[in-house]
Amino acid sequence: MNWTSVADFLDMGGYGFYVWGSYLVSLLCIAGEIVLVFNRKRTLLRHLSLIHQSTKQEKGNETTS
Amino acid sequence: MAINWFKYSSPASFYFLAGKMIPIFSVAAIILFAVGLYIGFFVAPTDFQQGEAYRIIFIHVPAAWMSMFLYVIMAMWSGIGLAFNTRLSSMVATAIAPTGAMFTFLALWTGALWGKPMWGAWWVWDARLTSELILLFLYIGFMSLQAAIDDPRRADKAGAMIALVGVVNIPIIYFSVKWWNTLHQGASVSVTQSPKMATTMLTGMLIMSIACWMYAIAVVLIRTRIIILERERHTAWVGELQGAGVAS
């Protein structure tokens, strides 16, 4: 074990800013990419289901009229 | 036994295959990131020269490797798409670009945060750093060009040209530390020599690299599925998927 306490761990031998700055931004980038990709998917699926519903309605209108 | 190698080159069958593979790669990524970070922070010893600052290596080197690997794979699929006119190959290439750009940015960012305490500068116009920055511009160029062209098939072809021409930058990045006098240190791991670091450091770095691979594969597959749905939305199979309510 390299660390004697939590404060020691966060300090990273005086390099805390650089080490945690690297890992924090990496985490943000990965989390951000995941959020963006799922947002894109949700928007697309909503869009597709709207198209699907409207075409179903159009078909329904054709048979009734 | 005859195997139909082309079955999964059809976007429709790939869509379902990818859907099954995404959870496997996601779980593998989570486990490997946890193990890799544990080794990186709790098992690997303090570096005798750089103190604790060297722990940036566990994200810096995997990010830098991924930035180059993903570019080569992107260019390869672009090239295959261009040569054989296979739609899926080009879609995969398009799906790789944002993830590749993200890893390139991370390599530069973590490199800056490592450079400041070790070299005394956030950035130097050194061969390794400059060629990696060019890689970021290549990714951004690829994405902007594709976004600027309405017809997806034409966008694929134009993007493929950038991707293929840009491949020349990859050996330049890799060998930059040998060809020029640079501030950046030489390769820590190479095929021909034994690694120049402690075994636990190397293990942590390799596990983090595999974790990044798993993550990249998972997110690229998710994005590929989105692109497939976007481009194939007028086809019968996407219509059926919608009708059954299973397009998730």
d(CA B186, CA B68): 16
Q: How many CB atoms lie within 10 A of CB B69?
A: 18
Please report residues of A whose CB lies closer than 8 A to that of B228. none
Residue pLDDT tens, chain B, 248 long = 566 666 777 888 899 999 999 999 999 999 999 999 999 999 988 888 888 899 999 999 999 999 999 999 999 999 999 999 889 999 999 999 999 999 999 999 999 999 999 988 999 998 999 999 999 999 999 999 999 999 999 999 999 999 999 999 999 999 988 888 778 887 777 666 666 677 889 999 999 999 999 999 999 999 999 999 999 888 888 888 877 665 54
Q: Are the beta carbons of B200 and B207 closer than 8 angstroms?
A: no
With tokens 């970021």, the residue in question is B136
* pTM for this predicted structure: 0.91
Please indicate whether, in this complex, the C-beta atoms of B242 and A40 are within 8 angstroms of each other. no
For A56, which residue in chain B has the nearest alpha carbon?
B243
- Best residue of A37, A38, A42, A54 to probe chain B, by most B CBs closer than 10 Å: A37
Please indicate whether, in this complex, the C-beta atoms of B215 and A30 are within 8 angstroms of each other. yes
Q: Are the beta carbons of B98 and B143 closer than 8 angstroms?
A: yes
Q: Are the beta carbons of B80 and B86 closer than 8 angstroms?
A: yes
ipTM of predicted assembly, 2 dp: 0.87
B237 touches chain A (CB under 8 A): no
A20 touches chain B (CB under 8 A): no
d(CA A61, CA A23): 57
